[in-house]
Amino acid sequence: MQRKAFSLSRSVWAVAALGALATACDRDEGVSPRTSARSVLALQVSDAVASTGEHIGVVIATESGVAPGGVQGFLRFDPTRLRFVGQERDTGDEQIMLVNTADAQAGVLRLAVLDPDDMTRSGTLVFEVVAGGYTSMMSFTVEEAAMNGSPVQRMSVDMERAVKVNPLIDADDSVGPISVDEWKDIVAQFDVARGIARDPGEIRNGLKFGDTNFDNAITLSDGLYMINVSVGINELIVGTDGSGATGDRDAVVAGNVFPANAPGLGEPGDLNPPGREADGSRLVTLGDGLAVVNEAVGIAQPVVGDVIPGRPLVPVSNRVIVSANITTNTTWTSNNIYELQGGISVTSGATLTIEPGTQVEGQRGTGPGVGGAALFVSREGRIVADGTQLQPIVFTCVAGPTARFKGCWGGITILGNASLNDGALTSPSIPSRGSAGGCREKSAEGGAGLYGGCNDNDDSGIIRYVRVEYAGFRFTPENELNGLALNGVGRGTIVDFVQVHAGLDDGIEMFGGTVNLKHLVLTANSDDSFDYTEGWSGKAQFVIAQHDSLDSDKGFEQDNYEFNHDATPRAIPQIYNVTLVGKADPASTSGTANNNSVGGMNPRRGTRPQMFNFIVQNFPFAVDIDDASTCVDVNTATGFKLANSIFTQNIRIDNSDAEPAGCGGTELDVLNAAGGNQFPATSPLLSPLNVLVPDWRPAFGTATGGATPPSDGFFDASATFIGAVAPANSTKSNVPWYAGWIRGWQSAITP
pLDDT band for position 591 (50/70/90)?
Answer: confident
Euclidean distance between CA atoms 596 and 585, whole angstroms? 11
Question: 694-738 pLDDT, tens per residue?
Answer: 889 999 899 999 999 999 999 999 999 999 999 987 656 688 899
First to last CA, the chain: 55
The Cα 495–Cα 339 span in angstroms is 23
Mean pLDDT value across residues 55-76: 92
Strand partners for 100 = 110
Whether residue 242 is predicted with pLDDT greater than 50 in this model: the reply is no
| SS3 call for 595 | coil
Distance CA 263, CA 274 (A): 9
pLDDT of residue 243: 39
Can you spell out the DSSP letters for 52-114? TT-EEEEEEEEEEESPPSEEEEEEE--TTTEEEEEEE----SS-EEEEE-TTGGGTEEEEEEE
At 30 the pLDDT is 41
DSSP 266-326: S-TT-SS-TTB-TTS-BEE-HHHHHHHHHHHTT---SSTTSBPTT--SS----EEEE-S-B
pLDDT at residue 643 tops 90: yes
Q: From CA 134, how far away is CA 305, in angstroms rounded?
A: 46
pLDDT for 407 beyond 90: yes
| Cα 709 from chain centre | 20
Q: How far is CA 149 from CA 70, 146, 294, 366, 551, in A?
A: 12, 10, 8, 57, 53
pLDDT for 13 = 21
Lowest pLDDT segment from 77-81, 152-156, 320-324, 516-520: 152-156
Q: Which residue has the higher pLDDT, 22 or 333?
A: 333
8-state DSSP, 447: G
> Could you tell me what percent of the chain has a pLDDT over 90?
62
In angstroms and rounded to an integer, the radius of gyration of the C-alpha atoms of the chain is: 28
Q: Looking at 176-180, 257-261, 313-317, which range is the least confident one?
A: 176-180
Q: How far apart are CA 627 and CA 607, in angstroms?
A: 10
For residue 364, is pLDDT > 70? yes
Q: How confident is the model at residue 661 (pLDDT cuts 50, 70, 90)?
A: confident
Q: How many helices (H) and strands (E) does the chain have?
A: 4, 47
**How far is the C-alpha of 343 from the C-alpha of 442, rounded, in Å?**
19
Cα torsion 86, 88, 90, 96: sign: negative
Helix axes 286-296, 220-230, angle to 10 degrees: 180
pLDDT band at 239 (very low <50, low <70, confident <90, very high): very low
What average pLDDT score do residues 472-477 get? 82
103-107, 535-539, 630-634, 692-696: range with lowest mean pLDDT: 692-696
Q: Are 555 and 530 in contact (CB under 8 A)?
A: yes
Query: Which amino acid is residue 23, in one-letter code?
Result: T
For residue 592, name the pLDDT band (cuts at 50, 70, 90): confident
- Per-residue pLDDT of 128-164, as tens digits, reads 999 999 999 999 999 888 888 767 788 889 999 999 9
Q: What is the per-residue pLDDT across 3-45, written as a single tens digit (0 to 9) for each?
A: 333 333 322 222 111 122 122 233 443 433 345 578 999 999 9
